[in-house]
Structure 1
Amino acid sequence: MTKAKVAVLISGRGSNMAALLYAAKAADCPYEIVLVAANDSEAAGLTLAAAEGIATFAHSHKGLKRAEFDAIIDARLREAGAHYVALAGYMRLLSPEFVANWEGRMLNIHPSLLPKYKGLNTHAQAIAAGDSHAGCSVHIVTAELDDGPVLGQTPVAILPGDSEDSLAARILIAEHQLYSRTLADFVTRERSPDYLLAKVRERALALPQVDEVTSHGMPCFGILKGKKFAYVSHNHHGDGVVALLVKTTAAEEQAMLIESDPARYYRPAYFGDGWVGIRLDLGDTDWDQIAERLHAGWRQVAPRKLLGLMDIAEEF
């Protein structure tokens, strides 16, 4: 099993980081921790991560603009080969540029049942409101604070006489259970054939005059009542992979792509030199690049009149 590579950002003791780290030690866990980074070199979680053999990085944010500091962190995440980012008590507001760079690949855990009580002092707010339950949520990070799509939640009962500290202690137990499970489900979803087909479908059907049919037992995309330019293959002829099969301009382009990344690109059986297979199930698919490949394949089969109209439109 190819494991998704996750970097964790912390600011302090890193208890949620530790929960993710120890969950990742299980042989069947679909992710591995490749880096723990902090904005404070004294963050206690760094010591734990290093002791467990995880690469660490620390850099103070003091004296730097938010975007400048985030660019430093972003560079280290990429050097570590991270596919995903998990925020675990990371007490920094993120720049729009950083959020955009990790759009759809960065999760956060928040100590409330979102959309209730965004920001700080969540336990005090839940107690003051007379709620029967508080809890925690894991969500996808977006530009708005604690506002991304919620992936999982755990309600925690508020007991008579609860203080902020007593409630926080029980919620922390729930956080440790929820975060590792939700992260595992999330990175597994990124390898699901249905999920991957939906991502390809969204991009392929956005092209002009394209329809979807089934051919050779696979979903495929082509010009309406015309030639096909892309197929989505799931274990086709027993190859065990989920891939996009897309038209190329020539055999030379196919060979160039395969040589550039043989783990991702391959020559699809029975399709010849005018096609290339692109693995979608590696957990780090660049969907902008997939959109570009689909567009290039579409141009190979689109009628000249349609291409002419599109080229004219693009000039404006």
Structure 2
Amino acid sequence: MVEPRPPCPKAKVAVFISGTGTNMAALLYASRLSDAPFEIVLVASNKQEAAGLALARLEGIETFSHAHQGHSREDHDAAMEAAAKQAGAQFILLAGYMRILSEDFVRRWEGRILNIHPSLLPKYKGLDTFARAIEAGESYAGTSAHLVTQELDAGEVLAQVRVAIAPGDTPETLAARVKLAEHQLYPRAVADYVSRGSDPKHLLARLRELALALPETYERESHGSPGFRVGTEKTGKFFAHFHDGHHGSDRVAVLVKTGSMDELLHLVETQPESYLKPAYYGASGWIGVVLDRPDLDWDHVEDWLAQSWQRCAPARLTKLHDVAEMF
């Protein structure tokens, strides 16, 4: 009997603020619910007098402030980043942080910075969103949780909430109601996003995208689980299997072909958090690349899929692939 999968460690997040920190407070108190998948390890601000810092200190959260005046954007970002790393943050949450981040900072934290924006993106990026929505005669305003990219307010939208615009609304009255929606939306969106790394459905979807991008590949069930083959329907071979807690294991992994048993055993012995020897498959050279771990590098998974595809594909495909690699 397979034991229940142990709970994943909570994701460590740093929250960047510039003012009162009401969204930070919503995140903080949500993080203290028993099933919350994240914890706040730092609240940082570009303003030493930001009221949100006092609240964070009152609640026992480490704080950091670094005034941006007199510093280049890059130097200021470096100080904020250093504090986040020192606190052990894996994600950065922007919550009323009124600074545009430098390109290098965003690149280093790609996929790990979230923001809450007061509009239904992609509408009304930037500032004065409520006045613009009212002036345009919109029926709804709202709020969006999204990933941060180098283009302002253009990252993937993770979740949204609509808020009706009432006759006679002003930007101030509308903002007050949208703020309530933000406090509900942001903690939920953050929880869902940081949990992706342990969600088998999300991991399979990402794996499927990478596997099916390889030449002449298709999906077929194998022993009750998704598998990926290369070649024709009649003679194709499996080059990857999705492994979700099977045969006594409590991990989510992708099974791929190694070059030898020596390679398999060496990887499993020296990197047990990253690799596993699957029951009933290991003797055939299959190794499990563990997917439900916080340090997962999807480029590394993509490399393993390509290597396994190369070992299982018919010669006519591998020859073409080798020629393409030369260019």
Normalised-by-shorter TM-score class: 0.7 to 0.9
2:250 counterpart of 1:243: no
Two-structure CA RMSD over aligned residues (Å): 2.7
Q: Deviations over 1:42-80 (max 9, x none)?
A: 333233323333333333444444344434444544454
Match of 2:298 among 278, 287, 303: 287
Q: 1:267 to 1:80 in 2, by over 3 A?
A: farther
Amino acid at match of 2:249: D
Number of equivalent positions: 316
Of 60-69 and 104-113, deviating more is 60-69
1:299 maps to: 310
1:133 maps to: 140
1:199 maps to: 206
Q: Deviations over 1:75-99 (max 9, x none)?
A: 5444544343321111111233333
Amino acid at match of 1:287: W
2:114 maps to: 107
Summarize the alignment of residues 120-269 of structure 1 with structure 2, pairs less than 5 Å apart: 120-224=127-231, 225-259=235-269, 261-269=271-279
Amino acid at match of 2:237: K
Q: Deviations over 1:269-299 (max 9, x none)?
A: 2222623223323355321121122122223
Q: State the secondary structure of the residue aligned to 2:24.
A: helix
Question: How far did residue 175 of structure 1 move?
Answer: 0.9
Summarize the alignment of residues 71-82 of structure 1 with structure 2, pairs less than 5 Å apart: 71-82=78-89
Gaps of 5+ in 2: 1-6
Gaps of 5+ in 1: none
Q: State the secondary structure of the residue aligned to 1:237.
A: coil
2:3 maps to: none
2:49 counterpart of 1:42: yes
2:73 maps to: 66
Question: How far did residue 14 of structure 1 move?
Answer: 1.6
Q: Is the 8 A contact 1:133 1:156 kept in 2?
A: yes
Question: How far did residue 139 of structure 1 move?
Answer: 1.9
Q: 1:8 to 1:230 in 2, by over 3 A?
A: same
Rounded Cα–Cα distance in structure 2 between residues aligned with 1:5 and 1:265 = 24
Match of 2:280 among 270, 274, 291: 270
Of 269-278 and 78-87, deviating more is 78-87
Amino acid at match of 1:301: C
Question: How far did residue 102 of structure 1 move?
Answer: 3.2
Amino acid at match of 1:147: A
Question: How far did residue 119 of structure 1 move?
Answer: 0.9
Q: State the secondary structure of the residue aligned to 1:236.
A: coil
2:325 counterpart of 1:314: yes
Rounded Cα–Cα distance in structure 2 between residues aligned with 1:217 and 1:171 = 46
Question: How far did residue 37 of structure 1 move?
Answer: 2.7
1:53 maps to: 60
Rounded Cα–Cα distance in structure 1 between residues aligned with 2:124 and 2:108 = 27
Rounded Cα–Cα distance in structure 1 between residues aligned with 2:326 and 2:65 = 47
Question: How far did residue 199 of structure 1 move?
Answer: 0.7
Rounded Cα–Cα distance in structure 2 between residues aligned with 1:230 and 1:108 = 36
TM-score (norm 1): 0.86
Amino acid at match of 1:141: V
Question: How far did residue 107 of structure 1 move?
Answer: 1.9
Match of 1:97 among 92, 100, 104: 104
